[in-house]
Amino acid sequence: MEKIRECVVRPSSSLNLLSHQEITAAMETGDEVFQTFQNCALAVLNTGNETDDATEMLQEFSEFSIAILPESRGIKLRIRNAPATAFVDGKLIRGIQEHLFACLRDIVYTQAKIESAGGFKIDTSTGITDTVFRVLRNAGIVIPNHPPQLVVCWGGHAINRQEYEYSKEVGYELGLRGMDIATGCGIGAMKGPMKGAMIGHAKQIKSSGRYIGITEPGIIASEPPNPTVNELVILPDIEKRLEAFVRLAHAIIVFPGGVGTIEEILYLLGILMRKENRNIPLPIIFASPEGYEEYFNMVDNFIRQTIGEEATNFYQIVTGNSEQVAQLTLRNLNRVVSHRRRINESYAYNWELNIPESMQWPFEVSHQNMAALKLYRDLPKAELVAELRRAFSGIVAGNVKPYGIHQIRESGPYQLTGDPSLMEAIDTLLSELVASGRMKVSAENYVPCYQLNNVENEKTISP
């Protein structure tokens, strides 16, 4: 691929005016944090080149480098051997430039604040929630005096064309009704709703449409921001990213996806099923096109078999009819507005939701931690959902994240142990995801990154 040998860029919005102390903090970035920033910067510069293999991208651009250069008014970046597709006539595309400095803001400066006295406090539940809020506010995502119209859309990046077009149709119907979109900022079901909403907004002469991409360093390299994203924020880890989604959302629409989408659904149910949150409206719609109902049939069956019928009260399933999806979303938004007005809650950030520390602390995927998961039916439902979510988080890491793939190569598959019926339900769901092509590889070539063990007789279930 063609590369741009060298260029220097200055910030256009984020970090365009810094104090000398802030400049010093940027220059003193630790090697690990800076390497994370450089990897994410390369992913952003690779926007539009729809690859989901981070290792392949890093190998192709092994000579890529980025350096922070201080100036009296702030900083600039010197970039070498960047993808030429990020430039037009030798000049960096403006949207990519803004995403690049969003990476610097959210990775380098956020980490500096976490490490400094008087900065972010992430050792308590309230401190984590405050940190998520401040990262979002610093990125300009949390806006006061703005109508509650943000719809979070989840779904897979490796979906088929019909599912992609359907997600775009739903986004179009949402855009016609003035709603903004937030997604994980990648391709597939994360890109479709944004593209559709852009057309809907244009038809309604709405020039202030928001297409918010919410990601984290471990994901952005394999899911660079799609070109539609006009506001990008990078949270420190997957748990803070998930908390950002649910506290920002006025409604959530889930499209078909893979294991990562299952993880997001479990996280959401784990919060809403807590007794402290039972009366807080957060509408959820599972939406798929006609003829592609099998994904949510699988998910619905899995939820009923593992968590129970009670969990099905928290979501609606709609097949086809993109207009109905948008109408239901708008109707449910009215409930959200009424509730927040009644209790005097912020429209911009849902402080009321109770998220336990166990769901806020980062789950460090390792063979030891995966083996220690408690997948037993006698756990409280909300706790069981949290454990299942961690299991799927580990499977995501083993499938798509470089460190997880390396762990599997070095030490073999992760071991998961639990009640026989839970193990069988997990095995059935994952097998169906592989067979239906939702795990990135063909069923013939797929090598599982996990083994499921029956706790009663320690029988290994082959995926």
Taking alpha carbons only, the member of 308, 451, 463, 299 closest to residue 379 is 308
Phi-psi region of 154 (alpha: psi -120 to 50; beta: other; left: phi over 0): beta
Q: How far apart are CA 156 and CA 188, in angstroms?
A: 6
Please check whether residue 357 lies inside any domain of the structure.
no
**DSSP class per residue in 177-205:** TT-EEEE-SSSGGGTHHHHHHHHHHHHTT
Q: Are 264 and 372 members of one domain?
A: no
Q: Contact at 8 Å (CB) between 215 and 175?
A: no
Q: Are 220 and 298 members of one domain?
A: yes
Over residues 130-188, the pLDDT tens digits come to 999 999 998 999 998 888 999 999 999 888 999 999 999 999 999 999 999 999 998 89
Element (H, E) at 10: none
Q: Are 172 and 251 members of one domain?
A: yes
Q: How far apart are CA 354 and CA 422, in angstroms?
A: 27
Residue 122 or 353, more confident: 353
Average pLDDT over every residue of 355-367: 90
pLDDT at 327 over 70: yes
pLDDT at 20 over 50: yes
Please check whether residue 297 lies inside any domain of the structure.
yes
Looking at the structure of the chain, the number of domains it has is 3
Task: Categorize the per-residue pLDDT at 203 as very low, low, confident or very high, splitting at 50, 70 and 90.
Answer: very high
Task: Categorize the per-residue pLDDT at 459 as very low, low, confident or very high, splitting at 50, 70 and 90.
Answer: very low
Q: Are 248 and 281 members of one domain?
A: yes
Q: Are 146 and 276 members of one domain?
A: yes
Residue 120's pLDDT is 77
**The domain spanning residue 19 has which CATH number?**
3.30.1850.10
Share of the chain above pLDDT 90, in %: 56
Q: Are 112 and 138 members of one domain?
A: no
Residue 380 or 200, more confident: 200
Please check whether residue 228 lies inside any domain of the structure.
yes
Residue 431's pLDDT is 83
**The domain spanning residue 155 has which CATH number?**
3.40.50.450
Over residues 217-231, the pLDDT tens digits come to 888 877 788 889 999
Tokens representing 432? 């169906």
pLDDT at 361 over 70: yes
Q: How far apart are CA 172 and CA 194, in angstroms?
A: 8
Residue 50's pLDDT is 59
Q: Are 307 and 188 members of one domain?
A: yes
Average pLDDT over every residue of 14-18: 74
Task: Categorize the per-residue pLDDT at 102 as very low, low, confident or very high, splitting at 50, 70 and 90.
Answer: very high
Q: Are 138 and 110 members of one domain?
A: no
**DSSP class per residue in 74-104:** EEEEEEEEEEGGGEETTEE-HHHHHHHHHHI
Residue 461's pLDDT is 45
Task: Categorize the per-residue pLDDT at 460 as very low, low, confident or very high, splitting at 50, 70 and 90.
Answer: very low
Q: How far apart are CA 390 and CA 396, in angstroms?
A: 10
Residue 49's pLDDT is 67
At residue 256, φ and ψ (nearest 5 deg) are -55, 150
Tokens representing 440? 């990135």
| pTM of the predicted model as reported, rounded to 2 decimal places | 0.90
In whole numbers, what is the pLDDT of the chain averaged over residues?
A: 88
Gyration radius (Cα) of the chain, Å: 22
Which residue segment(s) compose the domain that 309 sits in? 134-343
Please check whether residue 349 lies inside any domain of the structure.
no
Residue 314's pLDDT is 95
Polymer length of the chain: 463
At residue 38, φ and ψ (nearest 5 deg) are -65, -40
